[in-house]
Amino acid sequence: MRRTTWVLILVCLSIALVRVFSHDPDLGSARVVFQTNYGDIEFGFFPSVAPKTVDHIFKLVRLGGYNTNHFFRVDKGFVAQVADVVGGRTAPLNEEQKEEAEKTVIGEFSDVKHVRGILSMGRYADPNSAASSFSILLGDAPHLDGQYAIFGRVTKGDETLRKLEQLPTHKKGIFVMPTERISILSTYFYDTKMETCEQERSLLKRRLVASAIEVERQVKSGISKNEMLPVNMILRSRIRPVQSESKRSKHLHLADPKVTKGHPSTMYARGLADQLVLFVTLS
């Protein structure tokens, strides 16, 4: 009798674990980092859950579409929402960015739960109207489950999200909005299977240094923040591709949280180049 009871308990536990893990899909190897004026937020994608949404958002990131955009909504314990790329940026869109930003994606709804750290697409009443605005969940929101497309989750930067939650806000209609602009100063991305900053001769580390030096040059020359080149533009103009480098890694934006700890954004990293200049000789 006792043995039968233990077997039943184990079966129940197994079922419970299967249910839990079935709602925790695997992350792809790509990582994206938004560098805000309050710190960095890194996230990964769920390509098996929302492949079309992931392709669309990741393409916008690669094009630099989210640079100079902002979080227009911060509702403590609920969501921090990124504005639509069209209309949310301070810098004008180029044609390629505009073309991708104006696309909508079908509603890839799933059984993944809306819990803290999840990325979920914004949309209008039309279930297929999601474009480029998305929310980062700041708490559990079961009433959103199955209604909005989940496509990834935050992997690093919860401390930044907590800073955003402490900022003063005001209510405008149904939205709780920050009183001051929370800017996405720049973005970068990398692949966890191909790039690391742990190795001393890391390509990612060398690129970071080149980016920091160029930013420092722009700062010293008196260029205003609004006129600064996005990091991806700096890299394309100043970094010579390595022969063995894959197509994806050629587009890496370059600040790594492990190296830039204490610096919320390399876009305005005064003095960062001085700290890392020793890596310039690594080639």
For the chain, the domains span 30-183, 194-281
Q: pLDDT at position 150, please?
A: 99
Q: pLDDT at position 129, please?
A: 98
By DSSP bridging, strand 118-121 and strand 150-156 are: antiparallel
144: left (phi over 0), alpha (psi -120 to 50) or beta: alpha
Q: pLDDT at position 254, please?
A: 38
Q: pLDDT at position 234, please?
A: 42
Helical axes 203-220 vs 231-238, angle rounded to 10°: 110
C-alpha 71 chain-centroid distance: 12
Q: pLDDT at position 259, please?
A: 32
| Cα distance between residue 204 and residue 256, in whole Å | 8
Asked if 153 and 23 count as a contact pair (C-beta separation under 8 A), the reply is no
Q: pLDDT at position 267, please?
A: 35
SS3 content of the chain, % helix, strand, coil (to 5): 35, 20, 45
Q: Which helix (H) or strand (E) holds 22?
A: helix 2-22
Q: pLDDT at position 233, please?
A: 44
In CATH terms, the fold of domain 30-183 is Cyclophilin (2.40.100)
Q: pLDDT at position 268, please?
A: 33
| Cα distance between residue 196 and residue 186, in whole Å | 20
Q: pLDDT at position 194, please?
A: 80
Q: pLDDT at position 210, please?
A: 57
Q: pTM of the predicted model, to two decimals? A: 0.68
Give the chain's residues under pLDDT 50: 15-22, 230-283
| Cα distance between residue 163 and residue 130, in whole Å | 27
Q: pLDDT at position 24, please?
A: 78
CB burial of residue 243 (10 Å; 0-12, 13-18, 19+): exposed
| Cα distance between residue 7 and residue 78, in whole Å | 40
Any idea of the CA torsion for 114, 115, 116, 121, to the nearest 10 degrees? -10
Number of residues that make up the chain: 283
